[in-house]
């Protein structure tokens, strides 16, 4: 009788902590997160402009808060660029440090 395939695919503590992080997966995950947060904050600013809840987040990624379409495009592009720059710095550093444990 063979053992369960589930037991063979569960990572052990050793492989879980030493496996490298995938650059593309981390990049797309962070891009999706930052773009999603920007869109959420942008919608809050459009629905409730006097609250000022999301203006700081929008101001981080966009230069022209008066032009609605340009702000939206700059925010999405800025969020994506920020995510990929962060990923290309973080993932190789993480993989190098985790290999030394």
Reported pTM: 0.73
Can you read off the two tokens belonging to residue 8?
Answer: 């063979």
In the chain, the number of structural domains is 1
What's the domain range around 86? 20-99
Question: Is 42 within a domain?
Answer: yes
Question: Is 90 within a domain?
Answer: yes
Task: Summarize pLDDT for 41-97 with one digit per residue, the tens.
Answer: 888 888 887 777 666 767 776 777 677 888 888 889 999 999 999 999 999 999 999
Task: Summarize pLDDT for 2-51 with one digit per residue, the tens.
Answer: 555 655 566 565 555 668 899 999 999 999 999 999 898 888 888 887 77
Question: Is 47 within a domain?
Answer: yes
Helix or strand (DSSP H, E) at 40: helix 23-47
Question: Is 4 within a domain?
Answer: no
Question: Is 7 within a domain?
Answer: no
């Amino acid at each position: 009788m063979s053992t369960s395939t589930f037991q063979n695919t569960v990572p052990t503590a050793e492989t879980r902590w030493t496996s490298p992080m995938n650059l593309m997966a981390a990049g797309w995950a962070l891009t999706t997160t930052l773009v999603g947060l920007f869109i959420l904050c942008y919608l809050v600013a459009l629905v409730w402009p006097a609250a000022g809840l999301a203006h700081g987040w929008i101001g981080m990624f966009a230069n022209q808060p008066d032009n609605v379409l340009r702000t939206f495009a700059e925010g999405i592009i800025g969020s994506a660029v920020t995510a990929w720059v962060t990923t290309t710095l973080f993932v190789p550093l993480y993989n190098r440090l985790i290999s030394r444990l």
